[in-house]
Amino acid sequence: MVSVLQADRVSKSFGPIKVLDAVSLALEPGQVHAVIGENGAGKSTLMRILSGYLQPSEGQLRWEGAPVTFANALQAEQQGIVLIHQEILLAEDLTVAQNLFLGREFRRGMFVDDGAMFDSTQEILDQLGTTISPDAETRRLSLADRQFVQIARALLVPHRVVIFDEPTTVLTPVEADKLFAVILRLRNAGAAVLYISHRLSEVKAISDSVTVLRDGRHVTTAATADLQPVDMARLMVGRDMAKLYPVRPARSGGEIVLAATDISVPGYVHDAAFEVKRGEILGFGGLVGAGRTELFEGLVGLRPCRGALALNGKPVRFADARAAMRAGVVYLSEDRKGKGLLLEEALRPNLTLAALRRFQRGPFMDIAAEEEALQGAIHEFDIRVRSPDLLARQLSGGNQQKLFLAKMMLLKPQIVIADEPTRGVDIGTKEQIYKFLAGLAEKGAAVIVISSEMQELIGLCHRVLVMRGGQLAGELVGEDITEDGIVFLATGVHDRVAAERAAHPA
Q: What is the mean pLDDT of residues 311-322?
A: 93
Which pLDDT tens digit goes with each residue over 201-215?
889 999 999 999 987
pLDDT of amino acid 496: 55
Q: Are strands 17-27 and 364-365 parallel, antiparallel or unpaired?
A: unpaired
Which structural domains are found in the chain, ordered by start? 5-236 (3.40.50.300), 252-337+413-498 (3.40.50.300)
pLDDT band at 430; cut points 50, 70, 90: confident
pLDDT band at 239; cut points 50, 70, 90: very low
Environment class of residue 49 by beta-carbon count within 10 Å: exposed (0-12), middle (13-18) or buried (19+)? buried
Give the DSSP H/E element, type plus range, for residue 370: helix 367-380
The answer on pLDDT for 363 being more than 60 is: yes
The C-alpha atoms of residue 388 and residue 409 are separated, in whole angstroms, by 19
pLDDT of amino acid 432: 85
pLDDT of amino acid 242: 44
The C-alpha atoms of residue 186 and residue 180 are separated, in whole angstroms, by 10
Q: Are 49 and 3 in contact (CB under 8 A)?
A: no
pLDDT of amino acid 497: 54
Q: What is the mean pLDDT of residues 103-124?
A: 84
- Scanning 410-492, the segments in alpha helix (DSSP H) are 427-442, 454-460, 483-491
pLDDT of amino acid 243: 61
Please report, rounded to a whole number, the percentage of residues in the chain having pLDDT higher than 70.
Answer: 92
Nearest by Cα to 217 from 73, 70, 65, 35: 35
- Per-residue burial over 163-189, b if 16 or more Cβ lie within 10 Å, else e, is bbbbbbbbbeeebbeebbebbeebbee
The C-alpha atoms of residue 170 and residue 41 are separated, in whole angstroms, by 22
Strand, helix or coil at 338?
helix
DSSP string, 27-92: E-TT-EEEEE--TTSSHHHHHHHHTTSS--SEEEEEETTEEE--SSHHHHHHHTEEEE-SS----T
Q: Are 262 and 274 in contact (CB under 8 A)?
A: no
Amino acid sitting at position 64: E
Nearest by Cα to 417 from 313, 292, 312, 318: 292
pLDDT of amino acid 437: 92
Q: What is the DSSP letter of 156?
A: T
The answer on pLDDT for 133 being more than 90 is: no
pLDDT of amino acid 186: 87
Higher-scoring residue by pLDDT: 281, 487:
281
Q: Are 317 and 309 in contact (CB under 8 A)?
A: yes
Please report, rounded to a whole number, the percentage of residues in the chain having pLDDT higher than 90.
Answer: 38
The answer on pLDDT for 495 being more than 60 is: no
pLDDT of amino acid 463: 95
pLDDT of amino acid 282: 96
Least confident of 150-164, 182-196, 365-379: 150-164
Which pLDDT tens digit goes with each residue over 285-299?
988 778 999 999 999
The answer on pLDDT for 381 being more than 80 is: yes
